[in-house]
Amino acid sequence: MKFTGLLPIINGFDATGEPLIIAGPCGAESREQVLATASELHKEGISIFRAGVWKPRTKPGGFEGVGEKALPWLKEVKKITGMHIATETANAEHLKLAIRSGVDIVWIGARTVANPFAVQEIADAWKELDCDDKHEIGFLIKNPVNTDIELWIGAFERLYTAGIRRLGAVHRGFSSYGATAYRNPPEWRIPIEFNRRFPEIPLICDPSHISGRRDIVPNIAQQAINLNFSGLMIEVHCNPERALSDSEQQLTPSQLKSLLLSLKRPSNMPNPNIELDGLRNEIDILDDRLIDILAKRMEVSRAIGILKMKNGIPVIQNERYRKLITDRAELASDAGLDPAFIKKILSVIHEESVKLQLDSKLR
């Protein structure tokens, strides 16, 4: 595949080497909210404004976007500020309406990318569009919710085959089961592998949907810049506390300003450690998960301790402990780990559990 990339949309991007910044609210909620946020972002020098018009929600009842009636508000942003406007499209109808309203960049969301029928429908709709400037429209493809690089690439192939050349990839993390330090933990090795296979496609990071919490957005943004991502898509709202969706992860325009000022730019030299940085990030994330899991295990252990105490069962039960160690050692060995290593870890965990169950506060 040969791409022109998304970058030609931004004049001078290549010359300055600055990351491409796409910012704006999770959702367009009202004309006032859209215009207020856009005008503050414009003052900060942001040139691409994002706002979701149609919002895919995990469950019914959430804010599903105001729909089509928000498109004139985006158009107004473009007219007043000269910013490029971007929104999410999840089907053919969305695409047609967005393009008719002068949307410059559309993004295909993580849930839509996981559905090849929907991606194909969008590709076909673009192909059927009868307007000269359709080749100018940029398409950002978010990674699918699951860690399937081929599914992500498949979406690019569908758009490419339809004739779309102005493309960018967005890493927004992946769904995971249970509580983690992130809303959608990043898996840096996937965008890194994507970039290895398609170096001409600009890689953008969405630290907002990865983080789920505004306080860690800057850290994820910096990690992406360290990994040579071309840009960032960040959710910014003029009043995040009152946002109708993703309130906890949106920044104020001035928080975005501080984030951008604090970003350390990598040198223009190619980074020989890019792979090392990616792997280290992965270790950091796995360690976070280990800590989450250990904390949960201790909670369960504590509940067991209370039950034992209420029923007069002794804290230590050798038979159960022996069986636990043997079973886990076998599992570890099947997973390619040294059983002695896992025995050592389990014995330390068990020791801590016993200590917790004997804890005087429990008795």
**Residues in contact with ligand PEP by the rule CB under 6 A:** 26, 52, 88, 109-111, 142, 172, 206, 209
The CB-of-25 to Mn ion minimum distance in angstroms stands at 8
The CB-of-98 to Mn ion minimum distance in angstroms stands at 17
- For residues 341 and 287, the answer to whether their CB atoms sit within 8 Å is no
In the bound state with Mn ion, the residue whose beta carbon lies nearer, of 195 and 245, is 245
User: Where in 182-291 does DSSP place strands (E)?
Assistant: 203-205, 231-235
H and E: helices and strands count for the chain: 14, 8
Q: Is 99 in the site for Mn ion (CB under 5 A)?
A: no
DSSP state of 167: E
Q: Which does 110 bind (CB under 5 to 8 A by kind): Mn ion, ligand PEP, none?
A: ligand PEP
- Candidates 155, 246, 278, 285: give the one binding Mn ion (CB under 5 A): 246
Q: What is the CA radius of gyration of the chain?
A: 24
Residue nearest to ligand PEP (CB): 109
Give the contact letters, 6-35, x = binds to Mn ion (CB under 5 A), - = no: --------------------x---------
The CB-of-26 to Mn ion minimum distance in angstroms stands at 3
In the bound state with ligand PEP, the residue whose beta carbon lies nearer, of 110 and 332, is 110
Q: Which does 142 bind (CB under 5 to 8 A by kind): Mn ion, ligand PEP, none?
A: ligand PEP
Piece of the chain touching Mn ion by CB under 5 A; list 62-70, 91-99, 157-165, 241-249 = 241-249
Tokens of 103: 């949307």
Distance CA 159, CA 211 (A): 28
Return the closest-CA partner of residue 36 out of 338, 302, 253.
Answer: 253
The CB-of-33 to Mn ion minimum distance in angstroms stands at 14
The CB-of-110 to ligand PEP minimum distance in angstroms stands at 4
Tell me the C-alpha to C-alpha distance, in Å, between residue 53 and each of 115, 125, 226: 20, 18, 32
The CB-of-191 to ligand PEP minimum distance in angstroms stands at 13
Return the closest-CA partner of residue 248 out of 213, 217, 287.
Answer: 213
Q: Which does 109 bind (CB under 5 to 8 A by kind): ligand PEP, Mn ion, none?
A: ligand PEP
In the bound state with ligand PEP, the residue whose beta carbon lies nearer, of 109 and 202, is 109
DSSP per-residue string spanning 117-143: HHHHHHHHHHHH---GGGGG-EEEEEP
Neighbouring C-beta atoms of residue 156, cutoff 10 Å: 21
Site residues (vs Mn ion, CB under 5 A): 26, 246
